[in-house]
A and B are shown apart, each in its own frame.
Chain A
């Protein structure tokens, strides 16, 4: 049974696209058949992070409007064959998305894949609403700071009222993914602690992704971080989160940078 997952946050720049790519790739690396769908029409990024920007012919809008078939628009990843991308249009705006068209596309995708992962746009406008509407599972991406937490709270309220599942009176499965977490800064009180964020949002924690240079490096080379540096701290955290999404019980630990004496002494200067 295919699951539709939306990666959402309300606030922009917290790591939705990075997390979509990393979780999608991690689930695919574990053997599932995965498609990642970019709902950020007009400001598409997922194709860049997935390294597929030079292979985009048709996009989500073309499929929604019936100008192209789904198979024509899907881009299969070159590194993992069971990972596909449905890119967004950069030239159109979100008004080109219609509820009926989105429903048909999601329905078709559910017939082909185990996981349909929708990368929501920021905000609470039409694009974000359509991205979450058909979701069975939501991953709410939050940075440990107050504005991100408040926007996530708003989005959780909408997940509970504005989705197809909520309208049928069913509960949507919600998970919290804390990104850009810096244990040192949280300990010094410069950042909200994990406990604070979980307490405020009161939904189950899916994972804690530490702040890491690997994430930026992976984005720049056009690769999900779980593919670019699978042994790194961010990738390990994403792998754990993906296993929890699949229903496994994995102990919640924040992966830490293991620093040798030399890098401790010279690391800062070299960087």
Chain B
């Protein structure tokens, strides 16, 4: 569980699905869609001699075995001398350790086989913010065979002003999420109390994520970027046990109690739920 200072999502209400869509069209040509997107990548900057650096990396991976899981990594090779031997082999060795390389920057064009790692990006002037790799050996026991720790259970209420971020999977909260509190999960969010604050599920592009709660009084629910504010939620569901999920681009909300459907399920024809997408 990471407690952080709350941040504001750049929300743009409206009916547009992709707020970052650019549509080009004229009378004769079919139009194509372009989307802008930015992702957060880790930057690894190896130093010569590479063998020593690999040993240090091995020690780091041993301390935090899941740190690199699923995270895109950009290799900053600008710090290596031009005569470094077998850089391509070195990158393959990194991939063998489960590091997902999405590109390189600052690579020397003379290095053999380097083009296989994609067109090198120009070395950026900005070094980026240093990240501390968490020491997981004591915090989380080694995952049992076949199972990875991908859920977080919080036994206390999440109070106003608190922010829980868990990118790896589902979050289960036994208490309530207070007004002004925020829970952000890579997977689904289950709330066994009242949901009065903000719930943001499917953070890393998981459209299958859902939000469940015993009492729906949320200020904001977001699944994979599609959001709905309290104003737009079906009034009949407020205060009820409910779930929210995505049907394509539409956020749907229904009562969890099957006897309590009808108009309360938020899917009645003609209901135009104002919603938008944030990226």
Contact = CB atoms under 8 A, between A and B. Distances in A.
Interface stretch (B8-16, B119-127, B173-181, B260-268): B173-181
List 6 A-B pairs, minimum CB-CB distance, nearest first: A157-B159, A153-B160, A154-B160, A153-B178, A154-B161, A150-B179
A150 B178 contact: yes
B162 interface: yes
Contacts of A146: 179
Contacts of A161: 3
Contact of A200 (B158, B162, B196): B196
Given A150-B160, A157-B162, A202-B193, 9 more contacts: A153-B160, A153-B178, A153-B180, A154-B160, A156-B159, A157-B178, A157-B181, A160-B156, A160-B159
A202 B177 CA distance: 11
Interface residues of B, number: 17
Nearest to A199: B194
27 contacts: A150-B160, A150-B179, A150-B180, A153-B159, A153-B178, A153-B179, A153-B180, A153-B181, A154-B159, A154-B161, A154-B178, A154-B180, A156-B159, A157-B159, A157-B160, A157-B161, A157-B162, A158-B161, A160-B159, A161-B3, A199-B194, A200-B176, A200-B178, A200-B194, A202-B175, A202-B176, A202-B193
A173 to B, nearest CB: 15
B46 interface: no
B97 to A, nearest CB: 36
A218 B181 CA distance: 38
A244 to B, nearest CB: 22
Nearest to A159: B159
B157 interface: yes
Nearest to B162: A157
A151 interface: yes
Interface in A134-173: 146, 149-151, 153-154, 156-158, 160-161
A149 B181 CA distance: 13
Interface of A: 124, 146, 149-151, 153-154, 156-158, 160-161, 199-200, 202
Interface in B124-174: 156-162
A160 B3 CA distance: 13
Contacts of B162: 157
A158 B162 CA distance: 9
Nearest to B196: A200
Contacts of A153: 159-160, 178-181
Nearest to A171: B156
A151 B160 contact: yes
A130 B6 CA distance: 23
Interface in B29-86: none
A153 B179 CA distance: 8
B241 to A, nearest CB: 15
A147 to B, nearest CB: 10
Contacts of B156: 160
Interface string B168-205: 00000001101111000000000001101000000000
